[in-house]
Structures are given as structure tokens and as C-alpha cells.
């Protein structure tokens, strides 16, 4: 699958679903890998969820490294540096955010978060799918439940089956949306988290779907068949 084909799929998804923002292409460059020429570094440090939300609205393309990622929990999940100890232990969610009854409950939840090995990622690239200049690993679509339904039906069109998702309302756009999809090669649906719903313009009516690049063609072709007229 080349870039022009990916761009075409991106525009078809926008047109069929009547999306008001772009699907976002995300690429993880492994440690020691080279960043393609012609792609600029982001101009300010932001959280991963903010970067995704910025790209889907602005149409910008850029790359980030660990120093550009404000949320070190999300960066750690994606292999950019280490997971902060207070996040990994659950202390941050138990004592800081008070989202669990015990630190043990928080720890068990965080232990199940999909993550890449520490310091295994050199950089992360972001671009609107319909304009991307690189082949992504994962496509993130932030949209309403009906649009998620149509994407699900599109994926089922050729071979049937079911989409199985796993989420806990924690590290949603980073771990659920990117890392789990990247590692398993399966579509994932997630509901957002406190961070992504606090620091971005993701609305209460929106959800997140992560699509591995290997399944993008199937989703796009299925969508053309079931797209509402």
C-alpha cells in the first residue's frame, strides 16, 4: 500500500462518514530509526492526545520526540522513555486523581495497560490521513458512535466476525488507541480518558477507533459498500 492509496482511503472515509475532522495517521519510529526528511518537528510540547486532536483539526504534519510529549505516562506507554514510577505503581491515579478505592486497584489496572518497552521508540509522526506523506502504523478516527458503528460494519463486510475492545478509561488515546492496535494488529475502540477529555476538544459525544494500517484497505472498501446514500 503506497501513500497515494492511503490518501485516497483517508478522503473516502471522510466523505462517507461526513467527518468534520481528519483521521490521523500515526507512525512509531523504532529506536535508532531515521526521521524522514521534509517533516518538521512540532513547535511546542503537548500531550499525545492533544497532538492527535491538533492534527485532526489543523491538517498539520509533524514528528515528536520524548521532550515534546508533556504526558510522560502516554509517552512511556508508546516507548518514548520510561513510564513514570508513580503512574506505573498506580499511586498517581489513587492518591492524585482519586479514581480508585485502593492503590492496589489502580496498580492492577495500570499493569494491564498496553505498552511498548521503555526507550524503544525514537520518534512519533502525526499527519492527517488524506494528506500524509508517510505510511502510518495506526490510523486514529475520533468520531461519534454512529460513525464508529459504520466503521465497524465496514470492517465486518468482507469476512464477518466481531470487534473486541478492552479499555478502562485510562491512557485511552495513547495506549488503547495506538499501542494495543500496533501490537495486536486488530481494530480497537475506546472511550477516552480523563486526560484526553480535559486537555483536548474531544467532545462528550465522540469516541476513538484505532485501525492498524494492514486493515485500512478492508475498512475503506467495506465502507464504500455500506455507506449511507
pLDDT at 193 over 80: yes
Residue 15: how many CA atoms within 13 Å on its side-chain side?
Answer: 11
Q: Name the residue among 161, 173, 78 with its Cα closest to residue 116.
A: 78
1: confidence class by pLDDT, cuts 50, 70, 90: confident
Residue 26 to residues 52, 156, 179, Cα–Cα distance (Å): 9, 23, 11
Q: What is the pLDDT of residue 155?
A: 96
67: confidence class by pLDDT, cuts 50, 70, 90: very high
Q: For residues 143 and 92, what is the distance between their CA atoms, to the nearest angstrom? A: 29
211: confidence class by pLDDT, cuts 50, 70, 90: very high
Q: Looking at residues 157-164, what average pLDDT do you find?
A: 94
Q: What is the pLDDT of residue 57?
A: 98
Q: State the average pLDDT for the chain.
A: 96
* Residue partners of 79: CB distance under 8 A and separation at least 6: 28, 31, 115, 116, 117, 118, 119, 120, 121
What pLDDT, in 10s, does the model give residues 11-35?
A: 999 999 999 999 999 999 999 999 9
229: confidence class by pLDDT, cuts 50, 70, 90: confident
pLDDT at 180 over 90: yes
Q: What is the pLDDT of residue 228?
A: 80
Q: Name the residue among 146, 141, 155, 150 with its Cα closest to residue 190.
A: 141
* Residue partners of 154: CB distance under 8 A and separation at least 6: 218, 219, 220, 221, 222, 223, 225, 226
What pLDDT, in 10s, does the model give residues 72-130?
A: 999 999 999 999 999 999 999 999 999 999 999 999 999 999 999 999 999 999 999 99
Q: For residues 188 and 209, what is the distance between their CA atoms, to the nearest angstrom? A: 6
* Residue partners of 193: CB distance under 8 A and separation at least 6: 49, 169, 170, 171, 172, 173
| Number of DSSP helices (H) and strands (E) in the chain, helices first | 10, 6
Amino acid at each position: 500500500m503506497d501513500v497515494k492509496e492511503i490518501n485516497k482511503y483517508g478522503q473516502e472515509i471522510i466523505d462517507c462518514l461526513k467527518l468534520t475532522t481528519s483521521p490521523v495517521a500515526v507512525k512509531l519510529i523504532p529506536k535508532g530509526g531515521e526521521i524522514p526528511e521534509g517533516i518538521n518537528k512540532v513547535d511546542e510540547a503537548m500531550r499525545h492526545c492533544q497532538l492527535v486532536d491538533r492534527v485532526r483539526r489543523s491538517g498539520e504534519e509533524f514528528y515528536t520526540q520524548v521532550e515534546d510529549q508533556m504526558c510522560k505516562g502516554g509517552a512511556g506507554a508508546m516507548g518514548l522513555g520510561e513510564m513514570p514510577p508513580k503512574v506505573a505503581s498506580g499511586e498517581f491515579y489513587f492518591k492524585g486523581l482519586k479514581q480508585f478505592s485502593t492503590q492496589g486497584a489502580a496498580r492492577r489496572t495500570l499493569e494491564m495497560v498496553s505498552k511498548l518497552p521503555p526507550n524503544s521508540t525514537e520518534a512519533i509522526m502525526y499527519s492527517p490521513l488524506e494528506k500524509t506523506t508517510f505510511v502510518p502504523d495506526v490510523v486514529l478516527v475520533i468520531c461519534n458512535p454512529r460513525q464508529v458503528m459504520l466503521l465497524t460494519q465496514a470492517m465486518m463486510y468482507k469476512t464477518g466476525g466481531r470487534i473486541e475492545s478492552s479499555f478502562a478509561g485510562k491512557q485511552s488515546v495513547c495506549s488503547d488507541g495506538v499501542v494495543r492496535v500496533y501490537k495486536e494488529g486488530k481494530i480497537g475502540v475506546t472511550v477516552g480518558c480523563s486526560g484526553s477529555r480535559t486537555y483536548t476538544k474531544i467532545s462528550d459525544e465522540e469516541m476513538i477507533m484505532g485501525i492498524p494500517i494492514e486493515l485500512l484497505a478492508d475498512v475503506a472498501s467495506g465502507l464504500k459498500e455500506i455507506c449511507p446514500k
